[in-house]
Structure 1
Amino acid sequence: MSEDLVRGRLHRVLERRLRPARYGERVPLTVTAWHAPGEPVDVATALGAGYEPFGAGERWGPPWGTTWLRCTATLPAAWAGRRAEAVVDLGFTGVGPGFTAEGLVYSPDGTPLKGVHPLNRYVPIDPGGAGGVGVAAAPLTAGTRVDFLVEAAANPTIHQPYPWAPTDLGDVRTAGREPLYRFGGAEVAVVDEEVRALVADVEVLDGLLDVLGPTEPRRYAVVRALTAMMDRLDRSELTGAWSARTARGMLAEVLRSPAAPTEHRVTAVGHAHIDSAWLWPIRETVRKVARTVANVTALRASHPELVFAFSQAQQHAWLKEHHPALFERLRAAVADGAVLPVGGMWVESDANLPGGEAMVRQLVHGKRFFLAEYGVESDEIWLPDSFGYSAALPQIFRLAGATRFLSQKLSWNQTNRFPHTTFWWEGLDGSRVLAHFPPVDTYNSDLSATDLAGARERCADDGRTSRSLVPFGWGDGGGGPTREMLEHAERLEDLEGLPRVRIGTPAGFFAAAEAEADDAPVWAGELYLEVHRGTYTTQAAVKRGNRRCEHLLREAELWCATAAVRGLAGYPYDELDALWKEVLLYQFHDILPGSSIAWVYREATQRYAVLERRIEELARTAMAALAGEGRRGLVFNAAPHARDGVPAMGAAAAVEAAVPHARRADDGRIVLNNDLVRVEIDPRGTVVSVYDLVAGRELVPAGAAAGLLRLHADHPVGADAWDVDEHYRAAALDLRDADSVDLAPDADGVPAVTVVRTHDGCRFTQRVRLPAGAPRVEFETTVDWHVPQRLCKAVFPLDVRADDVAAEIQFGHVRRPLHRNTSWETAKFEVYAHRFVHVGEPSYGVALVNDATYGYDATRHVRPDGGTTTVLALSLARTQQFPDPHADQGTHVFRYALVCGADVSAAVREGYRINLPPRTVVGGDDVAPLVTADGPAVVEAVKLADDRSGDLVVRLYEPLGDRARVLLSTTERVRDARLVDLLERDAGPAESDGDGVRITLRPFEIVTVRLRLESGP
């Protein structure tokens, strides 16, 4: 018989004979149901509800609805001494765990037991448990009574097979009320443990055949053993002499054959990657976490070898808030080593777009939670699914006490295969962490032979390392590891033809990897993901909300700390803590990047508005206290640089400045002039000239236009919200013709040109102005559009020959080449920056700063006249259709500015300026800055210490990539100055004298100083 026929026969035997035989005698459960109206309710409410009979085949579950099932039965007396399980089928579809209906099982006293999903449907029967159910099956007693509840969630299947189509199921307001599921029924069945073990044997050997070579002797031995077992099964069917134990004996020899001594070694770590929001709202993630933790802690009862890596402190906090009893079960599991709090971050955030201080707080809040609740501090950063990694992160990780980093996302690269598996990752400042990219290329492994063999084959540093880590378990509500996976792991520990598998911990894996890391390769700089480039732009309103809240929190902490130290107000510790945590939540890697359903963005934009109001109230209350009584208009400047007579991080009376002049020329052109820059706008409203009067230099090449709005057809091959593909450039439309071009003073009396354009039912309003006394051209662009599959860019062609672009990231900047010499540079056709990008020649540069955008592209070409045009193009917004069919449709306001004659230092300064606008408060005397720093260093945060001691904490960094000697001064008397880590733990004395604290900064170094003041709150 050919091997194909043998495999076909084997799969039929598994599906039709062996797997069904895992259960013997069965009795149906009596099921009643209560369909909860509206949003989910707690179990206490459900216990008191009115239930009605409910049978197999009945429809339930409007999208995002909840149905509570009560399942009862009295088991036959003849089952005494045997083990049984309830099996529940909510009407699961063929979609995998996490993307269809899910349920959480409770005992009748309201204790959560475990989750159920398509590949984990059983409920252990325990006569000693409440309602005859528990976390593990126990021998039955005569007439055992079974009674349990299932909280069934009708989560719609949005994750359809590719191509993903637009759907209204992504919001409860548009999803409709038609039931999604038909109840499949529920029963209790006697468990045949021997058959279950045989099924695991056969599944492991069947998987082994998927990876063994066609001529390997090992393959022949496995096929012979399986064939003999099936022949015996067929004969036994005729004679009634079937025995699962005998069948297992026929397979024992091939399962005992050990792996080669030099075989690759795998550390298998239980895992359940749970997106804090994605194709479900945040409230559903709260329930997914509960189901998963219930599953994992229940599974540990029968499989004590299990260890489970559980990241994202936010998810632990949700469990503590919503399921306190289950949280205590989790706490006990952490204490005995079954559950490992890993990662040390509040959420698995996006790693590109959050600002520097936000990335710090991700680690501070995450680590503090794990320390407070469990007394545990993780040394591993766990970010398997974020969309690329900033070059600033190694330093941030190390300053937070983490020296190890795990991800696998770069395996998704479309162009270049990342060349390393275990390596040293070097950041901007030279800090290094040991990084591991599991070559299994998934964070949801089922420990299949295909996964394990793939991990061995893709290990990029073979010869330097002999091991890799495999996270295993169903994610996104799938409940994590299953008992089947653990049964497979037992058989895979030492099996010829596959890597050696041991269940272990991330810490144990990294300790072994470090022992082999002496000659590990080094990767310096950012870890750019060559896919998902659209996430720098999609959902512009959320990007703006994040940027705005980050800078408002800077202001609030600065002014509240200043007022508190000066005895004018109390410091709002609790409120700032809560505000930061919510902002950090929305930085999750499927919220801030724009790749979640409409419901997530409806809620996030509403919450951002609330957050902005609350943070502004804190800041304004503190500013009012600082301003005191009086009638002077005091301008508060929270930026780290002085401007217009107002000191950095202080307040002073506004200084009157000359108003720039404007005129309309005879040819219809409008000319703006502030004696530093002259701007010409043609009758069609396009900026055709930006002339630097100081340098005597024209920035706009002949025939080009600065700030031109360009529309692209945007049809990515892969996933809408995630991807911008390079072919978008093939179709572009420049918006040159204007409906109107008006010259009028703005609210500050500064002349501004307002241009209105319409196209395809969309309206684009652009206001161009020159402020007084500054060499920058300011643009405010309002985009109101309602067409799908479009990308809008603001394009700036510049007469500058630049070799690279300096793009701001957290706590510094990276330089990205403008050439396309290699496939690595070519793949970076769309990249990101924070507040600025800068291009320049040795003696002249230009910066483009913004207040809410991230995505951009930069290109250059040589003109016929021999000059070089460098083009910077900000990506403003994109209207994509999946998973939110209305993403970015509506009105958006973007502010950006072209800064002439700027070096990188000016780019840093102007980037802060546009994001931290001055605030005017009526009061008395000027407000001196609480702290000042001379030299190029930037003060990023001024706050009071988290331990509520009243100590002042100041964080600063070197932004230019140069060495700096800085004097940090304060208006208050300092008793003691200490260097601290990001968690404000002592790192040694700071060099201080009567003038302040003297700090030497390496290029891009971050330093945090803790000051104990003579007087304080």
Structure 2
Amino acid sequence: MHDRRKSGDERIAEFLSERLRPALYPQRLPMDIGAWHIPGEPVPVSVALRADYAPFTVGEPWGSPWSTTWFRVGANVPARWAGRRVEALIDLGGDRGPAGGCQAEALVHDEHGIPLHGLHTHTCAVPVTASARGGEPVRLLLEAAANPTIDAATGSGLHYGDPVTAGDAPLYRFRRADLAVRDDDVWHLLHDMETLDGLMRALPAELPRRHRIRTALEQAVDAVDPDAVARTAAAARRVLAPVLAEGAHTSEQVFAGVGYAPLGFGGLWPLRETARGCARTFSTLVTLAEEYPELVVGASSAQHYAWMRDQQPHVFERLRKAVADGNWIPVGGTWVEPDVELAGGEALVRQFVLGRRFFRDELGADSEGAWLPGARGASAAFPQVAALAGARWLLARRPAAGYPASPTHHTFRWEGIDGTTLYTHLAPDSAALTSAETDFADTGSATTRSLLPLGRATEGPGRDTLERARRLADLAGSPRVAMRHPAQFFREAREEYPRPPVRRGGLDLAAHRGTYSGQARTKRGNRRSEVLLHEAELWSATAAVRHGVPYPYDELDALWRRVLLQQSQSILSGSSIAWVHEDTEHEHRDLHRRLTRLVRRAVGEPDGAVVWNAAPHPRREVVTLDAGTGQPSDTAQVLPDGRLAVLADAPALGAGLTGLPLDRTPRVTAHTTVDGQQVLDNGLLRVRVDASGLVRSAVDLATGRDALAPDGAGNLLQLLRGEQGQDLLGADRIELLARGPLLATVRVRRGTGRSTFVQDLTLTAGSHALTVDTEVDWRERDTVLKLAWPLDVHAELGHADVQFGHVARPTHESADGSSPEFAAHRWIHVAEHRWGVALATDSTYGHDVSRHTRDGGGTTTVVRHTLLHPTNGADPYADRGLHRFRHTLRPGATLGDAITEGYAVNLPLRPGPATGAQPPLVRVDHPDVVVETVKLADDRSGDVVVRLYEARGGRTHAVLCADFAVEGVHETDLLEEHPTARTHRHGRVPLTLRPFQIRTLRLRRAGQRQEDSDGD
């Protein structure tokens, strides 16, 4: 009998845990176990099928960190179990370990090696048969991964993902491998009671509905005989039937449930483990979809599916069937869920292009929405990019309660910088439907609908979640939960809420904690990869059109996919474990080698006579040639390290000559004053560097304005430790390396006793900007490194470069005197009426801008680049070692100058062979219209594709001119589809662009024939 002296809530909880759950599997049979331990890299199942397995018993330890153990388990179903549901209960012991919690998972195969199901932290039951024959053998093969759990926020865990120092002590102890009968009456009673119990606890105490539910639950407890739970469970279900049958009120909140598992990429596992985890999760979910036909799974990232196609073809075929049956929805249309604040503009385009094409070609599916439930934030350029790729809506995650930037509304129209809007919904974190109170809180929305991702961590929804969802479909007192295709949810939301509020600018959804600057080598490698891909496509297209060189379609496509994979949220933000970032840096180095080879194949090996300009603006500037490239002459300057400085002139997107005479270009001079200061002057800019290596003056000679604030020190390195700050004011050594006439450089060395800093401050003939190259050997802990410039500018706003445009941010300080960090790509511009300063960067993303009033009047605007910001999370040793950064300071700069400077810093002139000047394939007659990409069409038709955009923020009329015979011109979407004919005459295409508008044009070459790839 049940103890009636306890409260009703206590009796219900005790009954669930001590009576009902133990009765769920009334009959069990231990399975035989064999084990094969693999300490190194995983092996395919074909190898495991032929391996020798040693006897293994329950209770034995297994799983050294990052290793794999293959288990072979087996038993015969007893004859008396005929007609019963049989499951294999396997507990790998993965919720305990020396790291304070470990995650042991496995992919379960049948005896032939075909994947069946995943084993996860909360999913230990593997379906064997819904109705046993009795006597049949059960033979399973388990690929178990011994992956330690690491806390991304604190870095606590086992060796931070380092495979070398992790050791070989086992992490887990195998707990169970049983063949068991599941009692269906107990199963359903358990979920009836848990659903009602959760609802009861969430309802206000004064509601009669709460008391009716408690009474019914207590009566159900009384209806069950503790000595015959299975036999009396059906009677208890009949007691609960009336309260379960009470339907929800029509005004109740409606949650559109969609199965979701935030698999991610990298993160706290290396990519090899992410791919294996994907196979486990997908196997589990497609099995669930077969058992629960109402289930709708929304899974993004084409890369996950590509892994399944290439590594797990059986899983992939099951996925294709689930897609065809409508249970599985490839959502989002991107290659991975990218970091949409830090990925470059063309990279965001390719995320959609490659992702949507994969979904259509391999799965016969398409996506009309964007899917970013893991995003910390999103760039204001994203709505236009997504819309041009076919997206009509966006799903992102809801900020945590109390987050300062949390939107007032969860459903709104998000307007980007060009005026494009996306119907946007912020969904709560994925839920397991464990209680109405925690899963169903929804405020600040004028609509009664919300999309609810269902699932846990990397597992997705389990059977428990789906059973509760069935009961919550129409249950009085609870919001209604109904499985919905995400597109259907957005259609219904639009019908109910056709005119939601508009939110403009970027989305800020979570604290970043150094993600704009942490793991600087990963970020620099990404930026360099984007630049080289731009060059490889541009010069390969030029070589194909000019000289008939085969265009490397296949190789470029493969390289883009590799770069896009490394732009996932966890990797590009810098929040992954050390192992992931080490792999990423290796991947970037290999990408750079391959892309450089493609570029050189297109332009030739350099000899210094010609330079190729991949930037969208013409340039006349000094370029340095490596030693042995080019010949000394009276127009060249020999540098101390053997390199040559020469003056070059090149058109936008074309090639020009080097070794030009200075003629009217004033020489740069350098001299040391009596008080030890270095003065660099080129007739356009005069820079004064003091004896500590700080820039005390940078005068724009055209106006006489000094960019530096009075008594201000530019090029100031700052160390920040918590609330404490330290300015590096002293220098160990300063030397004048080069004195002109083409190039003058001051080298500054300084250190902290642990870290060292070497900076080259360079001014060249004809340049309006000072270049600062910073090399850091970083050995600090819990410290942020910034580069500060106090500018004599009264700036209300700072303009920051984002993909395909820029955004304005207030320069005022916050109430506590701090200035929030924000993301900018290539440049920042601060200005007052008629005069401003541009600062450009080749790899830094994190910046802050603040404004201060000086004593006695005047305003100082301080711009700081965050060079290093270790997150001290999953990789506490992040950013140790050598780093290189390049920044430029351009006084007297307009917004257009800032754009030009940003492209120039990121796309240095490339030396080529003595082939003479080369005009560009295309050019635009207006400086505000920027050509971002030139390539050949992906359909291999030979069409030249040009992507351009308005960069200043104003309506512009321009003409695109092609330097080849043009037969036809069409405007397309980003996928180079849905063409609209455009007027043209002799290769001239008139264009009108609204502010920040992106246009993609296909130019059909006259007389061209279908091209084949070169087979790369």
| Paired AA for residue 433 in structure 1 | L
CA contact (8 A) 1:635 1:646 kept: yes
- The 5 A counterparts of 1:610-759 are 610-624=590-604, 633-644=609-620, 645-654=649-658, 655-657=660-662, 659-713=667-721, 728=722, 730-745=723-738, 750-759=743-752
Deviation at 1:237, TM superposition (A): 3.2
Query: Structure 2: how far apart are the matches of 1:238 and 1:888?
Result: 62
Deviation at 1:53, TM superposition (A): 0.6
Task: Give the aligned partner of residue 475 of structure 1.
Answer: 457
- Give the 3 Å change call, closer, same or farther, for CA 582–828 of structure 1 in structure 2: farther
Task: Give the aligned partner of residue 134 of structure 1.
Answer: none
1:193-223 per-position Cα deviation (integer Å, ceiling 9, x unaligned):
0000000001101111231001111111111
Query: Structure 2: how far apart are the matches of 1:619 and 1:164?
Result: 40
- Give the 3 Å change call, closer, same or farther, for CA 208–773 of structure 1 in structure 2: same
1:487 aligns with 2:467: yes
Query: Structure 2: how far apart are the matches of 1:709 and 1:167?
Result: 34
- The 5 A counterparts of 1:311-326 are 311-326=300-315
- Give the 3 Å change call, closer, same or farther, for CA 413–220 of structure 1 in structure 2: closer
Local SS of the residue matching 2:240: helix
Q: 1:106 aligns with which of 106, 109, 114?
A: 109
Deviation at 1:518, TM superposition (A): 2.6
Query: Structure 2: how far apart are the matches of 1:103 and 1:828?
Result: 47
Query: Structure 2: how far apart are the matches of 1:802 and 1:443?
Result: 43
- The 5 A counterparts of 1:447-846 are 448-455=435-442, 458=443, 460-462=444-446, 465-476=447-458, 478=459, 480-624=460-604, 633-644=609-620, 645-654=649-658, 655-657=660-662, 659-713=667-721, 728=722, 730-745=723-738, 750-819=743-812, 829-846=820-837
Local SS of the residue matching 1:770: strand
| Paired AA for residue 142 in structure 1 | G
- Give the 3 Å change call, closer, same or farther, for CA 466–529 of structure 1 in structure 2: closer
- Give the 3 Å change call, closer, same or farther, for CA 543–1003 of structure 1 in structure 2: same
1:609-636 per-position Cα deviation (integer Å, ceiling 9, x unaligned):
11011111101110129x9xxx770111
CA contact (8 A) 1:384 1:408 kept: yes
Q: 1:263 aligns with which of 252, 255, 258?
A: 252
- Give the 3 Å change call, closer, same or farther, for CA 241–486 of structure 1 in structure 2: closer
| Paired AA for residue 67 in structure 1 | T
Query: Structure 1: how far apart are the matches of 2:938 and 2:187?
Result: 53
Query: Structure 2: how far apart are the matches of 1:919 and 1:748?
Result: 22
Task: Give the aligned partner of residue 120 of structure 1.
Answer: 123
Local SS of the residue matching 1:148: strand
| Paired AA for residue 783 in structure 1 | V
CA contact (8 A) 2:90 2:125 kept: yes
The runs of at least 4 aligned residues of structure 1 exceeding 4 Å deviation read 1-4, 94-99, 238-242, 746-749, 820-823
CA contact (8 A) 2:525 2:588 kept: yes
Query: Structure 2: how far apart are the matches of 1:145 and 1:194?
Result: 26
Task: Give the aligned partner of residue 724 of structure 1.
Answer: none
Task: Give the aligned partner of residue 1004 of structure 2.
Answer: 1012
Task: Give the aligned partner of residue 992 of structure 1.
Answer: 984
CA contact (8 A) 1:392 1:427 kept: yes
Q: 2:41 aligns with which of 36, 39, 43?
A: 39
Query: Structure 1: how far apart are the matches of 2:845 and 2:933?
Result: 22
| Paired AA for residue 571 in structure 1 | Y
- The 5 A counterparts of 1:106-185 are 106-125=109-128, 137-159=129-151, 163-165=154-156, 167-185=158-176
CA contact (8 A) 2:667 2:740 kept: no
CA contact (8 A) 1:32 1:51 kept: yes
| Paired AA for residue 179 in structure 1 | P
Query: Structure 2: how far apart are the matches of 1:753 and 1:338?
Result: 65
Query: Structure 1: how far apart are the matches of 2:258 and 2:436?
Result: 16
Local SS of the residue matching 1:977: strand
CA contact (8 A) 1:674 1:772 kept: yes
Q: 2:344 aligns with which of 333, 348, 355?
A: 355
- The 5 A counterparts of 1:945-956 are 945-956=937-948
Deviation at 1:421, TM superposition (A): 1.4
- Give the 3 Å change call, closer, same or farther, for CA 749–676 of structure 1 in structure 2: closer
1:49 aligns with 2:51: yes
CA contact (8 A) 2:613 2:651 kept: yes
Query: Structure 2: how far apart are the matches of 1:193 and 1:241?
Result: 9
Query: Structure 1: how far apart are the matches of 2:102 and 2:956?
Result: 52
Query: Structure 2: how far apart are the matches of 1:958 and 1:566?
Result: 28
CA contact (8 A) 2:736 2:747 kept: yes
- Give the 3 Å change call, closer, same or farther, for CA 13–760 of structure 1 in structure 2: farther
1:220 aligns with 2:211: yes
CA contact (8 A) 2:436 2:478 kept: yes
Deviation at 1:453, TM superposition (A): 2.8
- Give the 3 Å change call, closer, same or farther, for CA 116–450 of structure 1 in structure 2: same
Deviation at 1:879, TM superposition (A): 3.0
| Paired AA for residue 104 in structure 2 | A
Task: Give the aligned partner of residue 235 of structure 2.
Answer: 246
Deviation at 1:386, TM superposition (A): 1.2
| Paired AA for residue 921 in structure 1 | G
Deviation at 1:852, TM superposition (A): 0.2
| Paired AA for residue 756 in structure 2 | R
Deviation at 1:241, TM superposition (A): 9.6
Deviation at 1:276, TM superposition (A): 1.3
1:200 aligns with 2:191: yes
Deviation at 1:167, TM superposition (A): 4.7
Query: Structure 2: how far apart are the matches of 1:747 and 1:445?
Result: 68
Task: Give the aligned partner of residue 717 of structure 1.
Answer: none
- Give the 3 Å change call, closer, same or farther, for CA 760–4 of structure 1 in structure 2: farther
- Give the 3 Å change call, closer, same or farther, for CA 71–704 of structure 1 in structure 2: same
- Give the 3 Å change call, closer, same or farther, for CA 670–327 of structure 1 in structure 2: same
1:146-186 per-position Cα deviation (integer Å, ceiling 9, x unaligned):
111111110112138x7543751412122111110011120
Task: Give the aligned partner of residue 381 of structure 1.
Answer: 370
Query: Structure 2: how far apart are the matches of 1:154 and 1:1005?
Result: 49
Taking only the aligned residue pairs, the percentage that are identical comes to 44
Q: 1:933 aligns with which of 910, 924, 932?
A: 924
Local SS of the residue matching 2:717: strand
Deviation at 1:301, TM superposition (A): 1.9
| Paired AA for residue 770 in structure 1 | L
Query: Structure 2: how far apart are the matches of 1:613 and 1:778?
Result: 26
Query: Structure 1: how far apart are the matches of 2:729 and 2:227?
Result: 84
Query: Structure 1: how far apart are the matches of 2:457 and 2:615?
Result: 42
- Give the 3 Å change call, closer, same or farther, for CA 238–301 of structure 1 in structure 2: closer
Deviation at 1:377, TM superposition (A): 1.3
Task: Give the aligned partner of residue 889 of structure 2.
Answer: 898
1:806-837 per-position Cα deviation (integer Å, ceiling 9, x unaligned):
000000000011135899xx997111100000
Query: Structure 1: how far apart are the matches of 2:192 and 2:103?
Result: 29
Deviation at 1:99, TM superposition (A): 5.9
Length, aligned pairs only: 973
Deviation at 1:527, TM superposition (A): 0.9
Query: Structure 2: how far apart are the matches of 1:99 and 1:307?
Result: 30
Task: Name which of structure 1's ranges 95-104 and 672-681 shifts more when overlaid on structure 2.
Answer: 95-104
- Give the 3 Å change call, closer, same or farther, for CA 253–364 of structure 1 in structure 2: same
Which sections of structure 2, spanning at least 5 residues, go unmatched? 621-648, 1012-1016
Deviation at 1:353, TM superposition (A): 0.4
What is the Cα-based RMSD across aligned positions, in Å? 2.1
